[in-house]
Amino acid sequence: MSESSNRPPTSLSPGQWSFTRWNTIGQLEALEIHHPLFRAIIFLQGAHLAHFAPQDEADWLWLSNRARFEPGRAIRGGIPICWPWFGDPAKNPPEVRKRIRTDAAHGFARTALWKLEDVQESAHEVEISLSLDANEDFADTWNGHALALITFSFSVRGCQLALTTTNLDSSPLSFSQALHTYLPTTDITRTRVLGLGTSNYTDTLKDWAYCSQEGPVYFDGETDRIYESGEPVTIVTPSGSRKLTAVGSDSTVVWNPGPDKAAGLSDFPDTAWKNMLCVETANAAGDYRVLNEGQSHTLGVFIGRK
């Protein structure tokens, strides 16, 4: 970390923030929020929330100690925004796939530079909005025109993300997406996810077999599933619980790379799979969304205490 300042973005007037300031971390610009009640860090690249914690608490998000903060490189940990497609393009429904012109997973939003739109501060909350105009600048990888606007709301109760997509193109937009939340655990083998116990899911590791969940989700090796549920989930770890409450979502991805995949994963220590899991608030697989010209859809998650 280096070079902390109050450098304002062009769209906002200087000196108006009490708790928010610019910093350069690695090679990337970030907003650091140091509020008396909580702290957070958002990178402009990817509108990527890398840290959040109420004061005197450990970080609520997992961030790899090998994460690299470089232009064009996805940050391993925190909450990457997968948009305007989730996962492998080839595994997306044809309507989503037909706009994608690359093999790269998880869309381009997580490595694109977003624009700061607004910072609102109060004694209890900080709200920060960023936008990405996905126009012809992205024509190498995607055919469409859409606006993504994300608003982060931080308080001592937790953090909320609301990602609104508006189709600016004259033809209907089909897209998939996820708020790819990385969470810490002290022991993945003693971690479980509650709230998906009556849901069906696609197991991407069993040739995309369609399965039924019964009871809590446990982890005993690599796990990569798309659940057909947007119901609240509770993540119980040996050191505490978190509750994720979604809006605009009927799919939830649960992922842990396990030892073998971890060994080949970028910016990821070989043994880190023991101490993290991802629970991703999504519009994935059959839950992709379609917007006509001018229509919007909001995908959101509130990460709070149990």
Ligand X SMILES: O=P(O)(O)OC[C@H]1O[C@@H](O)[C@H](O)[C@@H](O)[C@@H]1O
CB of 297 to ligand X, least distance (A): 20
Query: At residue 190, what are phi and psi to the nearest 5 degrees?
Result: -115, 30
DSSP designation for 198: T
Element at 259 (helix H, strand E): helix 258-264
CB of 86 to ligand X, least distance (A): 7
Let me know the angle formed at the C-alpha of 225 by 255 and 201, rounded to the nearest 5 degrees: 150
The encoded tokens of residue 159 equal 């953090």
- Closer residue to ligand X in complex, CB, 117/267: 267
Catalytic residue among 48, 180, 228, 231: 180
Let me know the angle formed at the C-alpha of 294 by 291 and 299, rounded to the nearest 5 degrees: 50
Catalytic residue among 29, 280, 293, 297: 280
Is 180 among the residues known to form the active site?
Answer: yes
Q: Which amino acid is at 259?
A: P
- Closer residue to ligand X in complex, CB, 255/288: 255
To which residue do tokens 């991703």 refer? 280
Element at 237 (helix H, strand E): strand 233-237
Interaction site with ligand X (CB under 6 A): 74, 87, 105-106, 180, 224, 253, 255, 265, 280
- Closer residue to ligand X in complex, CB, 166/256: 256
CB of 263 to ligand X, least distance (A): 13
Cβ neighbourhood burial of 164 (10 Å; 0-12, 13-18, 19+): middle
Cβ neighbourhood burial of 94 (10 Å; 0-12, 13-18, 19+): exposed
Is 280 among the residues known to form the active site?
Answer: yes
CB of 52 to ligand X, least distance (A): 19
- Closer residue to ligand X in complex, CB, 25/265: 265
Q: Any idea which residues carry the catalytic annotation?
A: 180, 280
